[in-house]
Structure 1
Amino acid sequence: MTKLLLYFVILVSAVLATSEKNNSLELVHVLFRHGDRTPDKRFVYPYDPHVNATYHPVGYGQLTNAGKRKLYFLGKALKKRYEKFLGTFTLDTVDARSTDYRRTKMSLQLVLASLFPPENELIWEKHLKWQPVPFNYWPIEVDHVLGESYENCPRYFKLYYEYIETSERRALYSNYSEVAQYLERHAGINTTVREMAEMYFTLSAELENGLELPDWTRQVYPQVLHELTDLGYHVSTATPEMKRLSSGFLLKKIITDTESKMRNLLPQNRKMFLYSAHEYNIAFLMKLLGIYYPHIPPYGAYILVEIHNVKGVRSVKIFYQDYTTGKPKRMRLPKCRHFCRIGSQYGAELILATFSQQNISIGFFIEMKLVVIIWSVAALSICIDANHETLRLVHVFFRHGSRTPELKDAYPTDPYTFETFAPMGWGALTNKGKQGSYKLGQVLRTRYDSFLGDIYIPETVAAYSTDYERTKMTVLLVLAGLFPPSRSQTWNESIPWMPIPYRYDKDRYDFTLRRPTYYCPTYVKELEEVLSSDVVQREIKAKRHIYEYLEEKTKKPMREMLNVLGVYQTLNAEDVMNLTLPEWTKSVYPDEVHEITAKRCFYENYNSILKRLNGGRMLGKVIDQMVNKANSTLVPLERKIFLYSGHENNVINILAALNLFQPHVPKYTASAIVELHWIAELQSHGVKVLYLRDADSTPEVLKLEGGRDLGIEGIRRGGDNPRNILIRDGCIVRKKCKRSRLRVKGGKRAAKFEERWRKKNMEKKEREKYSYYQRNGYASEEVERLRAEGRWMNGS
């Protein structure tokens, strides 16, 4: 942290003789509250006359049309202010982050939509002035930058309740004892600090959504509850350490990112960081900076932190928009009139106090759960004649839209370089890819229109992506095509689109969609055995002349199938972009290199072990979800479709796990579809598998092995020959596992070693966690209580 101080210069919103029109601006950080929403179901009070309201179709705690419009206009305001500064949009221009709530993710999409409308070569659809921009988030329980410390930090939780018991806190609320009794009598709530504050938000949301408030609320709403909510902010940040834990991580990130910009460590074109969050994020940051004044940040409120460079001297301007004035108002940090340089006493005190390492401990523990999947890869053999009247659940695995080549696959003699692919860059979705992805959504809408209904209901769909910008953009486009806004959900007549959030696992924690070559030694070892086998080596030898030809023409080593796969991916991407390929490619592309690449895909799922570790893990989840749907235990029960935006290997792996893969490389937007149907004549459930070769094709039904019907119990057991596969941290522990034709090395000995290593590692983590709680003042009985309450893993 000291090193950070040596480089970073923090200044107040100084009175500089510069304006927003000059060229001094280098970086902008924007923190904003989401748009108008419906009431949060968690905080509906016991005696609420509207307790049975459903707020259909958006549901509880979701963005309303008014909220969508407000955030869209927020993006427009930012565009007007920073249009010249931002310049031509690229994916590097902005880093967009949200909390893990639908309303904040949707709000972020709306801001991005108006802040970065497609222009010039980025226009991919004339009638839809919108382009997908990917965003990031962390799960609630581990988000220490934007998450609420009360929910995910035991140290803060402890400090909070210690302060609640102080005489200082009791003195703050001494004048509200009658109000507390009044609320207990009429609302039926426990009049804690938090519950009284939540009453304000619940009543406000109900009133904004056209509901009539009970007569008794006139005595306390809005003025008295507004005062109590403001007091709640004070209690939540009552001590210096509570301030640091509630917003210090966000301020640290702002400072670290700014310092990285000054040292040219960020992407060259990075100009903005966006944070979509809640009112408490704004209030707590203002408290930490000493610029808070009594109020509740309204929907769409935002803080701007501008980094300027004036003649080599960095300065910070802070603005806040609470909509009490037309423009964002300048905020001044206390004790700073002009520059708060690192040498100034206040500037140094602020940073050191914020990030004292004695008081902030960053970290969280991730515990991989033991997953037991009992099934046989070849056992799901169902061939049924079904229609939409019988349909119950759909899973769709699709490859992203067409893209530019990836840098890792580039070869030295390629006539096309990075400049060819500007402004998209390497491995980015092209306009044609956007069109194809959007069309895939429309194809799915055509097929499942009556099944899904014409109104988007959040519980209907779960959309997942891998941690790649092109797959995130693809799933946004598919959702746009699949769920055009109905009349009641149209929030802007000129834009036939509405924001729908997606989910994803951070790349290093993705053990379902990411290639197991990155995290599973067992898979890597088995694949190496396959690729070094006589069968594969004979095939490579037979095609040696192709390898040598490619090496000569590309000036890149061609030793194995993976090298050829890289060449195929590059040539195919350029071909789809309608670029003229070099003359030498005509003798090998597409046929020869496609054949070798397809074989590589085939060998990645060559035997039952590889299939289970590849698509088997994902198919296990699909089976669980189908079983739960059939048993009416799926959460939420209204779920109708799961979308998975991935890569060609994700489509291959799910088909291979079902023994349906024939060697080929799936095209862009290729999709594997798994449908669950109810067959009334059999009084049982069945599965139908379809393959869509691309968005311009017609789905073809694939016949599963055996061609016989399996009831839901057959799906649950995995057919006639179930096997027990214990998957831990993405790898298997085999017990009497039948050997494949290609001998598996290691066997029981390797499995025992893996088991001992994991046990030792988990014991170490347990010791570290126990030590953490002891350091932070927890007694042994408190540790056990935290464990029982499920907060043991959420240490911050």
Structure 2
Amino acid sequence: QIFIRSTDCDRTLMSAEANLAGLYPPEGQQMFNPNISWQPIPVHTVPEFEERLLKFPLTPCPRYEQLQNETRHSAEYINKTKESWHFLQMVANETGIRDVSLESVWSVYDTLFCEQAHKMDLPVWVTPDVMTQLKQLKDFGFEFLFGIHSRVEKARLQGGVLLDHIRKNLTKAANVSAHQNLKLLAYSAHDTTLVALQMALDVYNKIQAPYASCHLFELYQEDDGNFSVEMFFRNESGREPFPLTIPGCQHKCPLQRFLELTDPVVPQDWEQECQVASSIHDTELFVGLAVCGSILLLLIILLLTVLLRIQSQPPGYRHVSNEGEEQA
């Protein structure tokens, strides 16, 4: 009745196992050892190089890279870069990292945050104000990955892939005739996974999800037989999950309406949509030129062969007219 999928990373695999230990403590015959309140539950994964569902950004995708380059030229990105230039230079000087940018500063904040969480002493230059500014820039960097410019198209190339998978499972679960026994489908992944998904749903709060965050989809069958979807976001341990409402619908969103609203961010053919129009045209041009060149080369070789065969033949007999004989 449950299926658990994780990325092939130690921390996400361990998170899945820890959550399952809390959700499903053994009972009765499941207790194989009275001193161990735990039972084995399978966690499924695929090698990292095969991951096309939970690890974002999804690459390679030329069109997505093109959109990112366009985002770097947007007014919002340029202004943020100018505003933060002196601060980023200070961070580069203090850390010794040569290239600290809006896109890479997250790694500095992440390292310092982990050290702080483990009660380690931070460098003297890392004041509370510095940590606050690093966090703000890191949050902007996350937004850059999936938004700021062309959010819908980026979603089709990124978070929409996961959303498509979720939509199909919701639809399958709502199909009574399919006799679906699955009650829980859980993914153990990364903060960027949540950002990509929530950007596709247009419910992202522009703040990096903290550890152990969870985005929930719940499917309900109403009294009239129709199905509805409710979403929640759990990003605090001390309170109930926050309800999320997709734009254009109420919190208890009819399944059909949910599918209609999310359809624009779901790719029809991810590999095709990832291609860049100019590169497709260039490829066709190169193939055409290559074919024409090959044909021309074959014709030249054939012509040279014929000429060589003609020149290599010895001279044969030929009739020489005798004018005198003809007159006689």
What TM-score, normalized to structure 1? 0.33
Name the CA shift for 1:134/1:265 in 2 (closer, same or farther; >3 Å): farther
From 218, 240, 243, the equivalent of 1:327 is 240
Report the counterpart of residue 288 of structure 1 in structure 2: 200
Aligned partner of 1:292: which letter? Y
Say yes or no: does 1:205 pair with 2:118. no
Report the counterpart of residue 297 of structure 2 in structure 1: none
Instruction: Provide, for residues 278-325 of structure 1, a one-character-per-residue CA deviation record: whole Å limited to 9, x for no partner.
Output: 112112222221222132211111111100011112111111111175
From 95, 102, 105, the equivalent of 1:187 is 95
Report the counterpart of residue 353 of structure 1 in structure 2: 264
Say yes or no: does 1:271 pair with 2:183. yes
Name the CA shift for 1:352/1:141 in 2 (closer, same or farther; >3 Å): same
Aligned residue pairs, count: 278
For residues 265 and 245 of structure 1, what CA distance do their matches in structure 2 show? Answer: 32
Aligned partner of 1:289: which letter? L
From 97, 101, 104, the equivalent of 2:5 is 97
Report the counterpart of residue 108 of structure 1 in structure 2: 16
Instruction: Provide, for residues 555-606 of structure 1, a one-character-per-residue CA deviation record: whole Å limited to 9, x for no partner.
Output: xxxxxxxxxxxxxxxxxxxxxxxxxxxxxxxxxxxxxxxxxxxxxxxxxxxx
Name the CA shift for 1:150/1:106 in 2 (closer, same or farther; >3 Å): same
Report the counterpart of residue 71 of structure 2 in structure 1: 163
SS at structure 1 position matched to 2:11: helix
More helix by share: 2
Alignment of 1:210-221 (within 5 A): 210-218=119-127, 221=130
SS at structure 2 position matched to 1:133: coil
Structure 1: 5+ residue runs without aligned partners? 1-92, 364-771, 781-796
- Aligned-pair identity (%): 26
From 51, 56, 67, the equivalent of 1:148 is 56
Alignment of 1:775-786 (within 5 A): 775=277, 777=279
Aligned partner of 1:300: which letter? A
For residues 343 and 118 of structure 1, what CA distance do their matches in structure 2 show? Answer: 38
For residues 178 and 50 of structure 2, what CA distance do their matches in structure 1 show? Answer: 24
Report the counterpart of residue 26 of structure 2 in structure 1: 118
Displacement after TM superposition at 1:156 (Å): 2.5
SS at structure 2 position matched to 1:288: helix
SS at structure 1 position matched to 2:8: coil
Displacement after TM superposition at 1:197 (Å): 1.4
Alignment of 1:748-767 (within 5 A): none
Report the counterpart of residue 131 of structure 1 in structure 2: 39
Name the CA shift for 1:258/1:343 in 2 (closer, same or farther; >3 Å): closer
Say yes or no: does 1:222 pair with 2:131. yes
- CA contact 1:149–1:156 (8 Å) conserved in 2: no
SS at structure 2 position matched to 1:251: helix
Say yes or no: does 1:247 pair with 2:159. yes
Name the CA shift for 1:224/1:266 in 2 (closer, same or farther; >3 Å): farther
SS at structure 2 position matched to 1:180: helix
For residues 116 and 267 of structure 1, what CA distance do their matches in structure 2 show? Answer: 24
Report the counterpart of residue 308 of structure 2 in structure 1: none
SS at structure 2 position matched to 1:130: coil
For residues 147 and 186 of structure 1, what CA distance do their matches in structure 2 show? Answer: 31
Aligned partner of 2:191: which letter? E
For residues 173 and 325 of structure 1, what CA distance do their matches in structure 2 show? Answer: 36
Displacement after TM superposition at 1:213 (Å): 0.9
Name the CA shift for 1:267/1:321 in 2 (closer, same or farther; >3 Å): same
Report the counterpart of residue 105 of structure 2 in structure 1: 196
Name the CA shift for 1:257/1:124 in 2 (closer, same or farther; >3 Å): same
Say yes or no: does 1:314 pair with 2:227. yes
Name the CA shift for 1:776/1:150 in 2 (closer, same or farther; >3 Å): farther
Report the counterpart of residue 260 of structure 1 in structure 2: 172
Alignment of 1:539-688 (within 5 A): none
Name the CA shift for 1:100/1:127 in 2 (closer, same or farther; >3 Å): same
Aligned partner of 1:302: which letter? C
Aligned partner of 2:220: which letter? H
- CA contact 1:96–1:274 (8 Å) conserved in 2: yes
SS at structure 1 position matched to 2:125: helix
Name the CA shift for 1:339/1:219 in 2 (closer, same or farther; >3 Å): closer
Structure 2: 5+ residue runs without aligned partners? 284-328
Report the counterpart of residue 441 of structure 1 in structure 2: none
SS at structure 2 position matched to 1:146: coil
Say yes or no: does 1:176 pair with 2:84. yes
Displacement after TM superposition at 1:340 (Å): 4.3
